[in-house]
Structure 1
């Protein structure tokens, strides 16, 4: 079933995800989840004991989509597909989230220096009683980084709202020797896979036939 106005709800604060959706012509409204306050976040991004990276990123994304879907119903908003996504960086089985400060960001960059790591982005589309999900994997190889380069990058604003402490679309592009996978997935929303899920929910993408 197609949504009547072909819009979706985006359950993400990420400016990069908004940019990527606009790139493929998807109209959206933000349906943001609480991430702080007296009661804490609506969806916790804490890793459960023994949880593998694939399971972690898929679980958090599902919880975000479900929470946003229930918010839509509770607020009696027009019924539209809800899109949620979550990205994590993995090296040596260690999940790297968003660094809390300079020291943590620098430690993350040292662990990525001169090595290949994985970036996992899970995407969920929830509409009516149906849920579609997939997780995209990419490999990223960093050049060796010296302390001066790490310090200069960590003194910028870039590392602190990004999994793994870097953004491929920003200044950290100069650190990256090679990628295998999805550039947009590493940014935070794999567009090929996202378009597949949105089409299943009835969202038109590059379709001018009206069918």
Structure 2
């Protein structure tokens, strides 16, 4: 138990989210359930991220003990109102990165905390500024890192992020996949 934070079940196979919780000194175990990540038409990108995070949490509602918090999250990349999910194949990843090159995009992480059958939803938005990337930089990154499990086809902590991102407005950890500062504040307030 860390500062009155209950034990956490992290419903995510993302190694980046697991690493962020470890860096926060949180006790957690990873439990995965298959969830359909489709969403209704007409939602804003923020609503989509929260909707999917909550849907992932709902899969645990019947079975989770009261002294545990289920933490689910969904990160999406959005440019000019268009949501970029995970790429279908390497060519699709290259296309996405070409769209992001030289532009600003938003990274939105929706988070849901399920505790005592109550859902606590929140989200964070960060703006990410990419410099112009060459075709070769994009293609070699996709070939080497195969970013098919990442929204928008990139990891900020990988080479493309290190060489391509000029600046960020907002939370860095949100871009990695979990807005840790907002998450911590919510976890500490759960029992109040």
TM norm. shorter chain > 0.5: yes
**Residue 128 of structure 2 corresponds to residue 136 of structure 1:** no
Long gaps (5+) in structure 1: 35-42, 204-211
Q: Does the 8 Å CA contact 2:78/2:84 hold for their aligned counterparts? A: yes
The SS at the match of 1:51 is coil
Query: Structure 1 residues 104 and 47, CA, compared in 2 at 3 Å: closer, same or farther?
Result: farther
Which protein is bigger by CA-based radius of gyration? Answer: 1
**1:129, CA displacement in angstroms?**
2.9
Give the whole-Å Cα distance in 2 for the aligned partners of 1:113 and 1:163: 15
C-alpha separation in 2, matches of 1:6 and 1:161: 29
* Corresponding residue for residue 197 of structure 1: 186
- After TM superposition, list the pairs within 5 Å mapping 1:95-134 onto structure 2: 95-134=83-122
CA contact (8 A) 2:12 2:72 kept: yes
The partner residue of 1:88 within 76, 80, 101 is 76
Q: In structure 2, what is the equivalent of residue 53 of structure 1?
A: 45
Residue 161 of structure 1 deviates from its aligned partner by 0.8
1:171 Cα shift?
1.1
Q: RMSD of aligned C-alpha atoms?
A: 2.0
Distance in structure 2 (CA, Å) of the matches to 1:103 and 1:22: 34
Whether contact under 8 Å (1:158, 1:167) holds in the other structure is no
Moved more, 12-21 or 154-163: 154-163
Q: Supply the distance in 2 between the matched residues of 1:195 and 1:5 (Cα, whole angstroms).
A: 9
Deviation sequence 1:111-160 (CA, Å, 0-9, x none): 00000000000111111132212110000000101111111011023421
SS at match of 1:121: strand
Deviation at residue 197 of structure 1 after TM alignment:
1.4
TM-score by length of 1: 0.83
Is residue 158–residue 170 contact of structure 1 (8 Å, CA) maintained in 2?
no
Q: Mark the CA change 1:7 to 1:112 in structure 2 (over 3 Å): closer, same or farther.
A: same
Secondary structure at the aligned position of 1:82 is classed as strand
* Structure 2 contact 61–117 (Cα < 8 Å) conserved: no
Deviates more, 1:162-171 or 1:6-15: 6-15
Is the partner of 2:59 in helix, strand or coil?
helix
Give 1:114-193 correspondences, 5 Å limit: 114-173=102-161, 174-193=163-182
Equivalent residue for 1:209? none
